[in-house]
Amino acid sequence: MKKIYFIAAFLLCGNFLFAQMVKNPVSWTSSTRKTGDKTYEITLVANIGSGWHMYSQNTPDGGPLPTKITFSKNPLVILPSGHMKESGKLEQRFEPLFGVDVRQYSNQVEFKQTVKLKANVKTSVDVAVQFMTCNDRECLPPTTRKFTVALK
């Protein structure tokens, strides 16, 4: 319940602050690599600005919004269930604001997922990443970035 009040208050106050200055501390890149017959590895890389961090997909309940990555359905693509593999320097620490140990990344985090095509065709898959970033003074509202990743 504390989390809901915090996020609501933050979003309300945040709108006034962001009307004056929009911050975007995370830049993203995406790529694909063919790893076998009809098999591709999709990679998303978040480059996180100095002093900022973003949260793991495995952030515990009661904490900040975990990173969530979703794939749009494509009838030509077999998508595995579960989280994408994430790699980077994982930091785990107690966050008094949330009252839980949070899992976060600074500088850079990489997400990878293997997908398989049902046939040898050229297609693409749409990916949406929802994430939250904070520094030692503030947290930004959750942001969603969308990608279209070609599989050819």
- Model confidence pLDDT, tens digit, residues 33-73: 999 999 999 999 999 999 999 999 998 888 889 999 999 99
Q: How would residue 126 be classed by pLDDT, with cut points 50, 70 and 90?
A: very high
The three-class DSSP label of residue 14 is helix
Nearest one of 110, 132, 114 to 46, comparing CA atoms: 110
Q: Are 61 and 139 in contact (CB under 8 A)?
A: no
Residues 6+ apart with CB under 8 A from 62: 2, 3, 98, 99, 100
Residue 149 or 16, more confident: 149
**How much is the mean pLDDT over the chain?**
87
Residues 6+ apart with CB under 8 A from 56: 66, 67, 86, 90, 103, 104, 105
Residues 6+ apart with CB under 8 A from 81: none
Answering whether pTM is above 0.85, one says: no
- Domains of the chain, CATH where assigned: 2-151 (2.60.40.1250)
- What would you report as the CA-atom Rg of the chain, rounded to the nearest whole angstrom? 17
